[in-house]
Copies of this chain bind each other. A is one copy, B any other.
């Protein structure tokens, strides 16, 4: 059977101040009128019922996530006591799923991405599931690159496989410099690493045993199901013991054979404010505007106002975000440095909710 594992941890700090620790990106209506996490579940629902879905999120967010997802059984939403990046979260999900269904295929989906064509998305997932079953493969969805982005990982696709529409992965490249990214686009045959993975749960656990022994060790003591007594304590222990590492670094780049399903749908990880300039509707001067905003002689800006008024004059390619708590201003091309602002706010203890 196919199961969905929705990763709804983290809080999208580069989208501060709209996104905060208690009101994180995946719970925001950043695109469309539903929270991103709701869209993630809706999108996969025709393939996987909510009963066969696991959502992993921060323990402090579990109640908020449940509220957004009233149809999901509460025991399918797991609150991580501490964030340990993606490899441990997926490992925990895999362990739980194997105990429910030894042949479980897991579809791992980030909760906070924007996808344009749900039909095409499901088609790609179905193809990937086929390959994961038939070839016991680790499969990832590859996104056709829309620009020479330096913030993403790239996948070099190789030869075809026995499954139609599925290629071998030749190589992963994390966050290339701009020249490299441009050469990838010119060469063709490169795809963005979407962070969406499809594989048998037991197959993933084999890879964890092989490449992440510390994680395998933390997982070894974990034999309870979500409804068993002591599950919460076991969860605490697992997250205390598990190393913090991403599935990309920890598994995908080390695994011997990985497959990719090249896709054609529009995808955005909305990783920083600059992304909203691609995701939100654009006015005739190229401004992406939300809320009560007055702008004069300004173009290419991302202007967001949740409370009060934002007024700008004579700005080009600048992000201005106002919430009840804070105002952020930065050039679009500096959006990624919002992370540094958040660090500074933490260091100075100015804001509690970061």
* CB-based contact B315/A327 at 8 Å: no
Asked, given contacts A296-B344, A337-B296, A340-B296, whether A326 binds B313 with beta carbons under 8 Å apart, the answer is no
At the interface with chain B, which of A99-107, A248-256, A304-312? A304-312
Give which listed residue, B326, B330, B345, contacts A314 with CB less than 8 A. Answer: B330
Q: Is A284 an interface residue (CB 8 A)?
A: no
Stretch of A42-50, A118-126, A189-197, A316-324 on the interface side? A316-324
A313 touches B325 (CB 8 A): no
In whole angstroms, what is the CA distance A341 to B337 when docked?
29
> What chain B residues lie within 8 Å of A314 (beta carbons)?
330-331, 334, 337
Contact of A327 among B320, B341, B344 (CB under 8 A): B320
A134 CB within 8 Å of chain B: no
Which single residue of chain B is at the shortest CB-CB distance from A345? B294
- Number of this chain's copies in the assembly equals 2
Let me know if B327 and A310 touch, CB within 8 A.
Answer: yes
**Could you say which residues of chain B place their CB within 8 Å of the CB of A300?**
none
A350: which B residues are within 8 A, CB to CB?
Answer: 292, 294, 309
What per-residue 1/0 map shows which CB atoms of A5-45 lie under 8 Å from chain B?
Answer: 00000000000010000000000000000000000000000
Complex contact A327–B327 (CB within 8 A): yes
Is B308 within 8 A of A324, CB to CB? Answer: yes
Chain B's closest residue to A347 (CB) is: B294
| Residues of B with C-beta under 8 A to A329 | 310-313, 315, 318, 320, 329
Q: A147 at the A/B interface (Cβ < 8 Å)? A: no
Name the B residues within 8 Å of A334 (CB-CB): 297, 313-314
Task: Please judge, given known A-B contacts A17-B311, A351-B309, whether A294 and B341 are in contact too, CB under 8 Å.
Answer: yes
Assess whether A338 is interfacial by the CB under 8 Å rule. yes
Partner of A326, one of B297, B310, B315, B318: B310
* A212 at the binding interface (Cβ < 8 Å): no
Q: How far is the CA of A137 from the CA of B310 in the complex (A)?
A: 49
Question: CB-CB < 8 A to A310: which residues of B?
Answer: 326-327, 329
Does B294 lie within 8 Å of A313, measured CB to CB?
no
Cβ distance A83 to chain B, nearest Cβ, rounded Å: 23
What are the 4 A-B residue pairs with the smallest beta carbon separation, nearest first?
A313-B330, A309-B326, A314-B334, A322-B327
Chain A positions near chain B (C-beta within 8 angstroms) = 17, 292, 294, 296-297, 305, 308-315, 318, 320, 322-331, 334, 337-338, 340-341, 344-345, 348, 350-351
Given contacts A311-B329, A313-B341, list 18 more A-B pairs with CB under 8 A.
A294-B341, A294-B345, A294-B348, A296-B340, A308-B326, A310-B326, A310-B329, A311-B341, A311-B344, A312-B328, A312-B330, A313-B329, A313-B331, A313-B338, A314-B330, A320-B329, A322-B322, A327-B327
